[in-house]
Amino acid sequence: MQKTKQIFFKTDEEVECIRENCLIVSKALALVASLIKPGITGAYLDNEAETLIRDLKSEPGFKGLYGFPATLCISVNEGVVHGIPTKQEFKDGDVVSIDCGSKWNGFYGDAAYTFALGNVSEPVMELLSVTKTALYKGIEQAVHGKRVGDIGFAIQQYCEREHGYGVVRELVGHGLGRSMHEAPEVPNYGRRGRGVLLKDGLVIAIEPMINLGKRDVVQSEDGWTIITKDRKPSAHYEHTVVVRKNKADILSNHDLIEEQIKNNPEINEIFAKN
């Protein structure tokens, strides 16, 4: 996916527009959390999410973007990202990564969450927990005066070096604003003190994409879905944040999603490690 090269720092008013978009995305993912279960299809969830987004006077941020055909990216098991929703039913034991975007008032919102349906194995549940924790370790580094490499290093150190998982290299986080994908790229690997300098007002999407096996990925025959080369499961969690001087401000809201997960007996809760 092409990305603009110029870095745009956002005013407080622009940040609030992005926050509103991220809230819409979070509400759509919360709706997904209330509906998803074995026997449900991605196509059904996609239709429901699009209806909600439009009811909230926004537009799906992904539909039509670079030609993508749907509102949600739904990637199952070995699917890493960019999966196209289908009429295939989810099964007990599936892990389903769902990425969503919205566009309102000239700005975008973006967030993602991975759902564990029913009897998911302990090693895969651990992968999800570690990936979710890694997201927050990355966010901790998203402060004024740090560098993009500090974010990537924190995620890579935790997932790859401490837990032995594969950190995907080909897909990265990104700036976000009037375009879904702006500069800078935000890799989930890197070296401390390297890369673009983070400054107050920079809005970025941080999104660890972590594989149970090796980091290598390939594109599936549909031309969109990225899957693990070894066909082992992958996990993906994403927040949009704005860099601030002492602590990043998280603009998306996973709490809305997790409130629905608690009420859905078909989904396992994923806890970030302290």
Tokens representing residue 243 in the block: 């860099």
Is the C-alpha dihedral spanning 29, 174, 218, 120 positive or negative? negative
Q: How far apart are CA 158 and CA 42, in angstroms?
A: 31
Residue 197 pLDDT: 97
Q: How far apart are CA 85 and CA 270, in angstroms?
A: 23
Q: How far apart are CA 267 and CA 274, in angstroms?
A: 22
Residue 225 CB partners (closer than 8 Å, separation 6+): 75, 79, 81, 82, 83, 84, 219
Residue 273 pLDDT: 76
Q: How far apart are CA 177 and CA 55, in angstroms?
A: 22
Q: How many helices (H) and strands (E) does the chain have?
A: 5, 16
Q: How far apart are CA 234 and CA 212, in angstroms?
A: 6
Q: Which of 230, 194, 77, 209 is nearest to 156 (CA)?
A: 209
Residue 274 pLDDT: 61
Mean pLDDT, consecutive 10-residue stretches, the chain (274 aa), reads: 73 98 98 98 98 98 98 98 98 98 98 98 98 98 98 98 97 98 98 97 98 98 97 98 97 98 97 79
Is the C-alpha dihedral spanning 12, 17, 22, 26 positive or negative? positive
pTM: 0.97
Q: What are the Cα distances from residue 6, in Å, to 157, 185, 193, 201?
A: 29, 11, 21, 14
Kindly list the structural domains of the chain, giving each domain's residue range(s) and its CATH number in brackets, ordered by start: 12-268 (3.90.230.10)
